Chain A
């Protein structure tokens, strides 16, 4: 388990099998990082939906658009504070 216990159990990097492991690996290859961000592991119970969530994130947020990446991060950080989300 990750060092800090979550309220709802996650499928951790080491515990993932089958399609979950496949989607986690797709993210590792694309990002070049090894440990999945916690938010993505929340969707481990539905790897099909996790793929959509990743695409959703990339398309809308993790890309230049009508707004710049900086503007998007400013909005995301402010909204996350308003929503009391420490993550």
Chain B
């Protein structure tokens, strides 16, 4: 799935029906594949906005490490 998501991120126009069939062969359902594309595209949106504005990391990893 992450290989597929990489391709959608870097070259969505190059994804093929064969890529999707491979996901089905690995047990992913059509709704799950569709939702993976939504999340991938959503973060393409948020990543570009965050990078363009120059938002610094919010330290969530450090925060979680402290509370464990």
Question: Chain A residues in contact with chain B, CB under 8 A?
Answer: 2, 4-8, 10, 37-39, 42-43, 56-57, 60-61, 65-67, 71-72, 74-76, 78-80, 82-87
A39 in contact with B9 (CB, 8 Å)? no
Contact of A7 among B10, B31, B36, B53 (CB under 8 A): B53
A39 to B58, CA, bound (A): 10
What are the residues of chain A within 8 A of B54 when measuring CB–CB?
Answer: 5-8
A6 in contact with B32 (CB, 8 Å)? no
Number of A-B contacts (CB under 8 A): 102
A21 to B44, CA, bound (A): 27
Number of interface residues of B (CB under 8 A): 31
A85 in contact with B47 (CB, 8 Å)? yes
Given contact pairs A38-B50, A42-B50, A79 touches B55 in the complex (Cβ within 8 A) = no
Given contact pairs A7-B52, A60-B42, A76-B43, A83 touches B9 in the complex (Cβ within 8 A) = yes
What are the residues of chain B within 8 A of A74 when measuring CB–CB?
Answer: 2
